[in-house]
Amino acid sequence: MTYRIVTIDGPAGAGKTTVSKQLAATLGCVYVDTGALYRGVAYEIDRQKIDWQDEAELNRFLESLDLGFKMTGQDLALVSSGKDITSFIRTPEITMLASATSALPAVRQALLGIQKHIAATRDAVFEGRDMGTAVFPDAPFKFFLFADLGVRARRRHDELGTNDAELEKVQAQMAKRDKDDESRKTNPLKPAPDAVSIDSTHMTVDQVVTKMQDIIEKA
Ligand code: DC
């Protein structure tokens, strides 16, 4: 049996998470935040003080990694070796480390099986950077969500509740992350050739979700 897989890729702050969650709820399927997996790897690298630039050490670490999702109500919690680490993976340090370590082919390879396993067992909306290009190239519904950098930084800034002086810093970090994610050699952030691109700069979450839903339901 093939399940209905929807992929939503795009840069940080384009509204992917809110849109993906809302779309999954509308379609009655699970929402999978693949960025959480990369953050989970970064969290464990940091916690276990792994020298990730040492290939042998990184490989040993990845072999011992026991990362996965657990259903909690409608949400998926990120679990590492049986421990729920969902609340530890959103710090600025882990965010930047996740961007750096997600460029490593061995890290991407290690997370592939988890993502494919979910898609083989249920309908899902997958949010990430390479869902439509690399992980699920055959997905029937692919979206690429983007927005102007200034608007994305403002949204993230509002979410974090930081003061105005921090806005510039948020924007600079976002620009760096975009550049790193787009320029890495393995599975860089880019739209799949058959993805529908949506510019959310002047759109509300509801408008974006309705547009996606229309496309899915008309198919
Ligand atoms: O979506 P996010 O900000 O939580 O993702 C954290 C980092 O993980 C991001 O900088 C890039 C990386 N990532 C990735 O390389 N591929 C994915 N499918 C999802 C995230």
Q: How far is CA 215 from CA 123, 162, 206, in A?
A: 17, 36, 14
Residue 72 domain flag:
yes
Q: Residues of the chain with pLDDT > 70: what percent? A: 100
Contact yes or no for 151/10 (Cβ under 8 A): no
Residue 189 has pLDDT above 90, yes or no: yes
Distance 128 CA to ligand 1 centre (A): 6
Q: Where does the chain have alpha helices with state H?
A: 16-27, 34-47, 55-64, 92-101, 105-119, 149-160, 164-183, 205-218
Q: Residue 74: inside a domain, yes or no?
A: yes
218 within some domain: no
State the pLDDT confidence band at 219, using cuts at 50, 70 and 90: confident
In a domain, 103, yes or no: yes
Kindly state whether residue 68 falls inside one of the protein's structural domains.
yes
What is the reported pLDDT for 159? 83
Residues near ligand 1 (Cβ within 6 A): 12, 34-35, 38-39, 98-99, 102, 128-130, 177, 181
Residue 123 lies in a domain: yes
Q: What pLDDT does 116 receive? A: 96
- Please give the DSSP secondary-structure letter assigned to residue 131: I
Probe target for ligand 1 pocket from 9, 18, 38, with the most ligand atoms within 8 Å of CB: 38
**pLDDT band of 73, cuts 50, 70, 90:** confident
> Measuring from atom 20 of ligand 1, which residue has the nearest CA?
35
* pLDDT at residue 76 in the model: 83
Q: Is pLDDT at 62 greater than 70 in this prediction?
A: yes
Burial environment of residue 217 by CB neighbours within 10 A (0 to 12, 13 to 18, 19 or more): exposed
Instruction: Count up the domains in the chain and report the number.
Output: 1
CATH label of the domain that carries residue 170: 3.40.50.300
Name the residue range of residue 86's domain: 5-211
| Whether pLDDT at 108 is above 80 | yes
The answer to whether position 216 is within a domain reads no
Q: From ligand 1's centre to the CA of 10, what distance in Å?
A: 10
163 falls within a domain: yes
Alpha-carbon distance 121 to 203, whole Å?
A: 33
Confidence of residue 71 (pLDDT cuts 50, 70, 90): confident
Going by pLDDT thresholds of 50, 70 and 90, the confidence category of residue 74 is: low
For the cut 90, the answer to whether the pLDDT of residue 198 exceeds it is yes
CB atoms within 10 A of CB 117: 11
